[in-house]
Chains A and B, each alone.
Chain A
Amino acid sequence: MSIEQPFETIPVEALRARAQALRDEGWRLVQIGATRLPDQLELTYSFDRENRLANLRLALPGDEPKVPSISSIFWCAFVYENELHDLFNLHVSDLAVDYRGHFYQTAVKFPFGSTKPPAAKPATPQPAAAKA
């Protein structure tokens, strides 16, 4: 277990600035996770440096959760953000590698709950739009 595990709650607008600051100090991304609470979607961004963990907490309103992507700062974030989109129906803008819903193939769309009905499936799978 980590020696200290600070959880810092920040508003959505401050996310990119904080992520850039952590990147400049040499932290790396560990995970992005989401918890569906009854009235909101709670995101946790975890960063690690030399075995110390720092967590950022965001609370998003339940019905149209939108968050900017940090994949231009941490490229590896695209896997977590695509997974959260496919499981929780979280809208992430400006993804570096956007699978448009086809990263995590499940029989039921958004298995971890979504307050909006799922969108109509596209006729043919779209190729991923990759911007390096």
Chain B
Amino acid sequence: MPYFKMTRLALKWAVRKPVTTRYPFEPRIAIPGSRGLLEFAKETCVYCNVCAKKCPTGAIVVQRAQKRWTIDRLLCISCGYCVEVCPKKSLSLSTAHGAPSVTKDREYHGT
């Protein structure tokens, strides 16, 4: 009957378990390759400033003289442009999500 086309679908899903992940009781399974938090490896960085120049939002600021690499996490859009251009491969994108924060801080790495 034309009114009950939905019945089959509704009954099927009434007995199945839900599709949503019951986070935080079930762990979040990140999809590999997903673009999340930017990770910085201080050991290999030479403070060449290319990542800061290419960053479209200006989230990365590098102070060459003081050997300091800073990032504003809230401005980063996880585009991956800095990862592509870094000559020493010190940057990579992990699949983690950024932590929530109530202030706009810069994260400092270096001296």
Are any A and B Cβ atoms less than 8 Å apart in their complex?
no
